[in-house]
């Protein structure tokens, strides 16, 4: 270190080559994204729900809940800023459940974050990206055939609408808006996924 009172001995110094530095930067960005995706509720975030916390669904068949989900809507949050297409995949792994979030931005670049999930009660998941730290993810509503799910958390700061298909119809969106209102949220507060190229936006308001 230059300018410090105790410079690092030269024998222990290592100047990273450009490709090494790029690799480290990518790993750091991936690690940060993972932490933000899973622990976003730790960051300052407004409360959007206008009522008491809704109860999670009465039952979840984990085997049917696993697989690939497409995000159709979300409450605004900093860790998904700029994401145009978002998916989350739940899979069995090492006796537990792995969680892979993929965000594609307007330029087509992908950001991937990995975490863990566990079912801790009826309709209640906990997710983690690091060590012993877990955050709540509640399934607030779902389709009987597991074709869609609305996921939130107790504080009313985060909400996601997930479906098995990449896109939804206007009629399906209207039905989701009704369900969201019934849970105490305003549909106008949500960021909805692009259903065509005309819907793509540069940034979230």
Average pLDDT, consecutive stretches of 10 residues, N- to C-terminus, the chain (205 residues):
42 44 52 48 58 85 97 92 93 92 91 93 88 89 98 92 96 97 94 72 46
Give the span between the Cα atoms of 32 and 168, in whole angstroms.
Answer: 31
Closest CA to 26 of 138, 102, 128, 113: 113
> What does the domain layout of the chain look like in residue ranges?
62-199
155: left (phi over 0), alpha (psi -120 to 50) or beta: alpha
pLDDT of residue 22: 54
pLDDT of residue 133: 84
According to CATH, the topology of domain 62-199 is Lipocalin (2.40.128)
pLDDT of residue 6: 45
For the entire predicted model, the pTM comes to 0.73
Give the span between the Cα atoms of 113 and 32, in whole angstroms.
Answer: 9
């Amino acid at each position: 270190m230059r300018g410090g009172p105790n410079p690092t001995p030269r024998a222990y110094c290592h100047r990273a080559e450009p490709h090494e530095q790029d690799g480290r930067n990518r790993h750091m960005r991936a690690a940060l994204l993972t932490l933000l995706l899973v622990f976003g509720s730790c960051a300052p975030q407004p409360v959007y729900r206008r009522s008491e916390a809704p109860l999670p669904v009465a039952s979840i068949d984990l085997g049917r809940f696993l697989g690939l989900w497409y995000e159709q809507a979300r409450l605004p949050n900093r860790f998904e800023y700029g994401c145009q297409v978002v998916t989350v995949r739940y899979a069995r792994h090492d006796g537990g459940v792995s969680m892979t979030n993929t965000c594609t931005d307007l330029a087509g670049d992908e950001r991937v974050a990995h975490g863990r999930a566990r079912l801790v009660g009826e309709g209640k998941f906990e997710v983690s990206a690091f060590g012993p730290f877990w955050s709540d993810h509640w399934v607030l509503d779902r389709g009987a055939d597991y074709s869609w799910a609305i996921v939130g958390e107790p504080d009313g700061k985060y909400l996601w609408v997930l479906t098995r298909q990449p896109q939804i119809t206007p009629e399906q969106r209207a039905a989701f808006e009704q369900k969201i209102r019934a849970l105490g949220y305003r549909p106008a507060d949500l960021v909805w996924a692009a259903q065509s190229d005309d819907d793509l936006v540069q940034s979230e308001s």
